[in-house]
Chain A
Amino acid sequence: EAGVAQSPRYKIIEKRQSVAFWCNPISGHATLYWYQQILGQGPKLLIQFQNNGVVDDSQLPKDRFSAERLKGVDSTLKIQPAKLEDSAVYLCASSSTGGRGQPQHFGDGTRLSIL
């Protein structure tokens, strides 16, 4: 089966600009996650969708980050305006259901550099 697809692979912007990332989960997966991975650290969950509804966005900086999954399939994550500390890899993952213990399958991420 095809894996989680993310684009773009790399993005370089200046601080205060906006940026958007796209994710297409594994076909049929109901649950979609966005993570932020700062260099040298483990991934940190930003937001979790169950179908097209948000079930956890407790660690999403809502003043600048937003995400949507309108049709319950693909998703976009936006940052506006970007800050230097947003430089990181943004990973998307999906699991078949939101049930606990379901393995999360990751895409290869978008590496964001803020100048």
Chain B
Amino acid sequence: GESVGLHLPTLSVQEGDNSIINCAYSNSASDYFIWYKQESGKGPQFIIDIRSNMDKRQGQRVTVLLNKTVKHLSLQIAATQPGDSAVYFCAEGLSGGYNKLIFGAGTRLAVHP
């Protein structure tokens, strides 16, 4: 299948380790943030979201941390599995408007056995 993100930064981890993927966002007025996972040949898949009135949100094996002071977002994946290998995008939702999202450049996560 097609390869998403040929020239993206890559994070390589061992199976079972924890992964941390970072994202810097640009707009101070953004108040909603989402992480998407995109496998080769597939569309982005929603993972977890967080609103700007929160610093942390947990899901199943994933945690998102938001630092509004430095405009930084991170996605933590616990006990990384081979099926987690994909490109991960953060997206910011601009305040006002109609649910418009601005996507970041993405990070490729490579999980090694």
Chain A residues in the interface with B (C-beta under 8 A): 4, 31, 37, 39-45, 48, 50, 55-56, 89, 91, 93, 95, 98-109, 111
Which of B36, B89, B101 gathers most chain A CB within 10 Å?
A: B101
Given A101-B51, A108-B43, also A42-B91 (CB < 8 A) = yes
Q: Can you sample 29 A-B contacts with CB below 8 Å?
A: A4-B43, A31-B98, A31-B99, A39-B3, A39-B5, A41-B105, A41-B106, A42-B91, A42-B103, A42-B104, A43-B103, A45-B100, A48-B98, A48-B99, A48-B100, A56-B98, A100-B32, A100-B97, A100-B98, A101-B93, A103-B34, A103-B46, A104-B46, A104-B99, A105-B46, A106-B45, A108-B42, A109-B43, A111-B2
- Residues in B neighbouring A50, C-beta threshold 8 A: 98
Smallest CB gap from A31: residue in B = B99
**For B7, what are the chain A residues with a Cβ–Cβ distance below 8 Å?**
40
The total of Cβ contacts below 8 Å across the A-B interface reads 74
**Nearest CB on B from A81, distance (A):** 24
Residues on B close to A: CB < 8 A? 2-8, 32, 34, 36, 41-46, 49, 51, 89, 91, 93, 95, 97-106
In the complex, the chain A residue whose C-beta lies closest to that of B99 is: A100
Q: Is the CB of B44 within 8 A of A102?
A: no
Complex Cα spacing A22 to B43, Å: 15
Please report the C-alpha to C-alpha distance between residue A101 and residue B43 in the assembled complex, in whole angstroms: 19
Give min CB distance, B18 to chain A, whole Å: 24
Chain A to chain B: the 3 pairs with minimum beta-carbon distance, closest first: A42-B103, A106-B43, A55-B98
Give Cα distance in the complex from A93 to B32, angstroms: 18
Q: Which residues of A contact B103 (CB under 8 A)?
A: 42-44
Which of B42, B99, B106 is A42 in contact with, Cβ under 8 Å?
A: B106
Find chain B residues with CB under 8 A from A107 CB. Answer: 43
